[in-house]
Amino acid sequence: MTTENAISSPVKLSAVAGHGQPEPTPALEQLYRGFEQEMLVPLWTQIGDLMPAHPQSKASAHLWRWDRLVELAGEAGRIVPVGRGGERRAIALANPSLGGRPFATPTLWAAIQYLMPGEDAPEHRHTQHAFRFVVEGEGVWTVVNGDSVRMSRGDFLPQGGWNWHAHHNAASKPMAWIDGLDIPFAYNTESQFFEFGRDAISPAERISPEFSRSERLWGHPGLRPVSQVQDQPTSPLLAYRWVNTDKALNEQLALEAEGHAATLSPGHAAVRYTNPTNGRDVLPTIRCEMHRLRSGATTRTRREVGSSVFQVFDGQGTVKVGDRQWQVRRGDMFVVPSWQPFTAQCDAGQPSLDLFRFSDTPIFEAVHAWREQVEPA
């Protein structure tokens, strides 16, 4: 071993007989010791792991019950303060197959965040892209670059990386919502930055307007302000309101009932949240959608490169991920790992099943690695 590389080698190789492997001999063992000393790994010993026939996700399908998440978040609200250091009372979903890290999938972070009445979450910014989605409650405002944005049930609030943001609860009750970020992707690619902001927002920002400045400028369907002609990498619209999402889903199902092609499959309506400056995804690394299944309807079975996290917004039904199957209800969250087949069905006794979904698809589309399989209609 050369002096500049005089460290203990983590590379461990064994000559074993097998298909596609060289015959084990003393000479081969000696070659492997040389590889170990120089930190080298031959492809022929690793190809099955590095180049499988199809994606083999390290994540596993898993379900988190909303009732239990809220219960534990409420207990944290009583004993864990919000302030500098912890920054947020956010409790991340830890996929059971990812070694205890706070990662829902290898690229996606999901958490329940909980804010007590009158509490503020201090200002900071980070390069990780983020969003908030509200499954129940209201009364919290997020303040992004000084713009106060109302958070209410069904609202989707994207926030591009490196924007200052804080939260304040102006209500008399606690409020919980989910956060989604690309933290694992940034962590694994070693690309993250973080910066503390002000300890407190100004009185002018501690307001509760019905519509934020971003909505007043950008929240008009099909209309773009001529003063804002440059495309932006993340959506400048900071709130996508449930009233509009709900109406869009209902109209798709109504058009289907009238005999027009408007849905993904019979009884399965879906919309995607998009950036109004370019029509692409709201965030460069995260795709967000809302899906609605009418009573008794079933999605086509689909598998795709990349992972997804779902939250049940309303209704009850059955979801199947790989070989796992669960009955789900409002608020429940579950993970669909890369290339595992997914199917959802709305219970016949329910008016509909609404599923909020976020995925890492834009990452794989950007590097031309995304593909999907959908069972025939």
Closest CA to 287 of 193, 177, 366: 366
Q: pLDDT tens, 90-135?
A: 999 999 999 999 999 999 999 999 999 999 999 999 999 999 999 9
Q: What local confidence, expressed as pLDDT, does residue 47 receive?
A: 87
Q: Which pLDDT value is given to residue 19?
A: 85
pLDDT of amino acid 49:
87
Closest to 197 (Cα-Cα) out of 121, 139, 267: 121
Q: Which of 63, 39, 186, 203 is nearest to 127 (CA)?
A: 186
Q: Are 238 and 215 in contact (CB under 8 A)?
A: yes
Low-confidence ranges of the chain (pLDDT < 50): 1
Tell if the pTM clears 0.85, that is, is over it.
yes
CB 162 within 8 A of CB 125: yes
